[in-house]
């Protein structure tokens, strides 16, 4: 990877929130079918961590709202909803998922901002053409209008993996051998960069007033410019939670591990970041795998605008053996997706799910689980976000016929995977879903990232091969002899 003057490092997780009172520091540079389990919830099991309430969800649903593990009734039939509006190609992605778009955000006006990587040269018809050294990847950040028209194109640090928008600005996180947070204007002009540290993990989100960044895989003391983080975090890994204002000034930095363990336990203990999302009043939600000598679980933490803990929810005792992601609505309700790693079964509190299974858990703004849906195998899901009504929009792929709540989805042809988009109500009821056609490659259509527009539409970035059925008029989708990246908009 060639480094430009903008770049520094890959990052773990970023999210926008309101400013705090600390003195700012300036930037450094210009599977088988499954269904929801049927056990009912019990009384919460609570404890105190750092003086804050902690709820631990046990098997059978103890710790959640009554009945939160109960089966959810069927909803609208499979195949309903999701009308294709437009598709904009964004160049070739001939080798792997690593090429092409990797992140998507939607601003308040409905414009889309896409980040990704390319080889050779890259242009979108905006008059700007980017180039990379021979055989090396470079990053890009691009803006599209609400109608899908490319508006601008700029160079992005290293290998961009996530993007957020806020108040006319754009924030990008990049990852290769280093982690970098970079700020751009609404038209892609570079404004600032901030280096984190080598070989971390990052994700970003915004709420309009500032930026939260979660920097992971940290061991030992780290100083981000506002003093060394306190000791007491994980012995083999920790998460630093950073807060920036829109100009790139750092307000605060703190250790999530130190907040979890004011008195560190004996033996190895660690915090492994999975994702972050905005919470009301400038707060933040952090999802992480928390491992100590007696437990290995997924933990969801809510912090206020000052970075102080509000509550902690720890899911089932072995839920940490699953990959996970997070989304939240404007009221602070959260949806957690846990995906089996293919080797170990897991339990988010409603019963054991197979190593290839997936579970969704909806958590209220007060930290109480409200409902859960699980499938033993066959599907993996990610989040685009929530619309104004609190409905969740998801995307993913499935490997065999599976029922997501509206009846079985059409089975893929042979071993080929199919892409799927899904809409669930705030109570978990299936509202709409749609799949995208088979092809000669596996998968023929791959959805990589998604976001929700101000009018409740679903936008996503992905790649396709051949001429898959995407619900657009004949001739609107050009046949791709190699993988072609694209941005698409659907109305649920």
Nearest alpha-carbon partner for 434 in 385, 393, 383, 484: 393
Residue 389, class by beta-carbon neighbours within 10 Å (0-12 exposed, 13-18 middle, 19+ buried)? Answer: exposed
Measured CA to CA in angstroms, residue 404 lies from 4, 67, 337, 424 at distances of 45, 20, 14, 10
What's the CA gap between 146 and 444, in Å, rounded? 26
Q: What tokens appear for 491 in the block?
A: 């109305």
Which pLDDT does position 29 carry in this prediction? 34
Percent of the chain scoring above 90 in pLDDT: 32
Beta bridge partners of 69: none
* 45-59, 60-74, 157-171, 275-289: range with lowest mean pLDDT: 45-59
pLDDT band at 455 (very low <50, low <70, confident <90, very high): very high
Do the beta carbons of residue 146 and residue 459 sit within 8 Å?
A: no
Residue 267 burial class via C-beta count within 10 angstroms: exposed 0-12, middle 13-18, buried 19 and up: exposed
User: What pLDDT sits at residue 220?
Assistant: 64
Give the residue carrying structure tokens 């400013």: 19
Structure tokens at 224: 């981000």
pLDDT of residue 77: 92
Euclidean distance between CA atoms 84 and 271, whole angstroms: 41
96-100, 129-133, 171-175 — most confident range: 129-133
Domain ranges of the chain: 13-491
Position 19 scores a pLDDT of: 27
Record the tokens describing residue 234, joined without a space. 């994980």
**In the chain, pLDDT over 70 holds for what percent of residues?**
78
Q: Using CB atoms within 10 A of its CB, is residue 415 exposed (0-12), middle (13-18) or buried (19+)? A: exposed
36-45, 105-114, 408-417, 443-452: which is most confident: 105-114
Mean pLDDT, rounded, of the chain: 79
Confidence of residue 428 (pLDDT cuts 50, 70, 90): very high
Most confident of 144-158, 162-176, 431-445: 144-158
Which residue, chain included where needed, has tokens 């996530």?
162
Mean pLDDT (whole number) for 232-253: 76
Per-residue model confidence (pLDDT) at position 252: 77
443 prior amide bond cis, ω within 30: yes
Q: How many CA atoms lie within 13 A of 1 on its CB side?
A: 25
pLDDT at 262: 74
In this structure, of 193-207, 263-277, 379-393, 471-485, the range with the lowest mean pLDDT score is 193-207
**Statement: residue 163 has pLDDT above 50:** yes
Strand, coil or helix: 280? helix
240's CB contacts (< 8 A; 6+ apart) are: 214, 215, 216, 218, 222, 224, 229, 253, 254, 255, 256
Between 401 and 6, name the one with better pLDDT: 401
How confident is the model at residue 463, as a pLDDT? 87
Token pair of 365 as six digits: 């703004």
Tokens of 204: 């970003």
Which of 159-168, 203-212, 353-362 tops mean pLDDT?
Answer: 353-362
DSSP characters over 34-102: -----PPPB--EEEEETTEEEEEPPTTSBTSSTTTTSPPPP-SPTT---EEEEEEEEEE--S-TTSEEE
φ, ψ for residue 412, nearest 5 deg: -60, 155
CA dist 172 and 191 (Å) reads: 11
pLDDT tens by residue, 192-202: 888 776 555 55
User: Rounded distance, CA 241 to CA 196, Å?
Assistant: 11
- Whether the Cβ atoms of residue 354 and residue 381 lie closer than 8 Å to each other: no
Residues found in the chain: 492
Q: What is the DSSP letter of 344?
A: -
In this prediction, residue 466 carries a pLDDT of 82
Q: Using alpha carbons, select from 434, 492, 368, 354 the residue that is nearest to residue 62.
A: 368
pLDDT digits (tens, 9 = 90+) for 326-359: 999 999 999 999 998 888 888 898 988 988 889 9
What integer pLDDT is reported at residue 2 of this predicted model? 33
Please state the CATH superfamily assignment of the domain spanning residues 13-491 in this structure.
Answer: YVTN repeat-like/Quinoprotein amine dehydrogenase (2.130.10.10)
In this prediction, residue 147 carries a pLDDT of 96
Q: Which of 24-28, 39-43, 105-109, 243-247 tops mean pLDDT?
A: 105-109
Are 421 and 434 in contact by the 8 Å Cβ rule? The answer is yes
What pLDDT, on a 0 to 100 scale, did the predictor assign at position 205?
A: 62
Q: According to the model, what pLDDT value does residue 92 have?
A: 66
pLDDT at 65 over 80: yes
Strand partners, 122: 130
């Amino acid at each position: 990877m060639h480094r430009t003057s903008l770049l520094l490092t890959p990052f773990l997780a970023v999210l926008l929130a309101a400013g705090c009172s600390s003195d700012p520091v300036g930037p450094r540079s210009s599977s088988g079918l499954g269904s929801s389990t049927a056990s009912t919830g019990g009384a919460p099991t609570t404890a105190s961590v750092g003086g804050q309430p902690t709820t631990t969800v046990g098997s059978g649903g103890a710790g959640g709202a009554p009945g939160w593990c109960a089966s959810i009734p069927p909803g609208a039939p499979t195949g309903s909803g999701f009308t294709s509006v437009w598709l904009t190609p964004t160049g070739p992605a001939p080798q792997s998922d690593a090429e092409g778009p990797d992140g998507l955000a939607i601003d308040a006006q409905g414009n889309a901002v896409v980040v990704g990587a390319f080889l050779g040269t890259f242009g979108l018809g905006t008059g700007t053409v980017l180039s990379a050294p021979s055989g090396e990847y470079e990053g890009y950040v691009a803006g599209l209008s609400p109608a899908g028209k490319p508006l601008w194109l700029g160079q992005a640090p290293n290998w961009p993996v996530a993007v957020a928008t806020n108040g006319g600005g754009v924030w990008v996180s990049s990852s290769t051998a280093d982690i970098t947070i970079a700020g751009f204007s609404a038209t892609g002009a570079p404004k600032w960069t901030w280096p984190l540290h080598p070989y971390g993990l990052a994700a970003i989100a915004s709420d309009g007033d500032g930026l939260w960044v979660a920097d992971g895989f940290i061991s030992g003391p780290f100083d981000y410019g506002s003093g060394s983080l306190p000791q007491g975090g994980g012995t083999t890994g920790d998460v630093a939670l950073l807060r920036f204002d829109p100009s790139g000034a750092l307000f605060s930095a703190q250790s999530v591990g130190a907040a979890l363990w004011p008195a560190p336990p004996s033996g190895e203990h660690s915090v492994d970041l999975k994702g972050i999302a905005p919470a009301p009043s400038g707060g933040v939600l952090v999802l992480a795998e928390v491992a100590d000598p007696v437990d290995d679980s997924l933990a969801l933490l809510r912090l206020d605008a000052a970075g102080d803990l509000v509550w902690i929810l720890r899911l089932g005792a072995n839920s940490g053996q699953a990959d996970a992601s997070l989304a939240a609505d404007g009221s602070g309700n959260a949806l957690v997706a846990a995906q089996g790693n293919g080797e170990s079964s897991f339990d988010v509190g409603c019963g054991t799910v197979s190593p290839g299974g997936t579970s969704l858990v909806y958590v209220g703004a007060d930290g109480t689980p409200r409902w859960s849906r699980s499938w033993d195998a066959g599907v993996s899901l990610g989040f685009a976000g929530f619309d104004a009504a609190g409905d969740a929009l998801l995307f993913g792929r499935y490997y065999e016929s599976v029922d997501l709540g509206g009846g079985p989805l059409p089975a893929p042809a042979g071993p080929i995977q199919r892409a799927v988009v899904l809409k669930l109500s705030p109570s978990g009821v299936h509202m709409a879903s749609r799949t995208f056609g088979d092809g000669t490659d596996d998968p023929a259509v791959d959805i990589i990232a998604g976001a929700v527009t101000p009018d409740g539409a679903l936008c996503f970035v992905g790649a396709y091969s051949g001429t898959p059925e995407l619900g657009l008029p004949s001739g609107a989708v050009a046949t791709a002899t190699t993988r072609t990246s694209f941005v698409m908009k659907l109305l649920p």
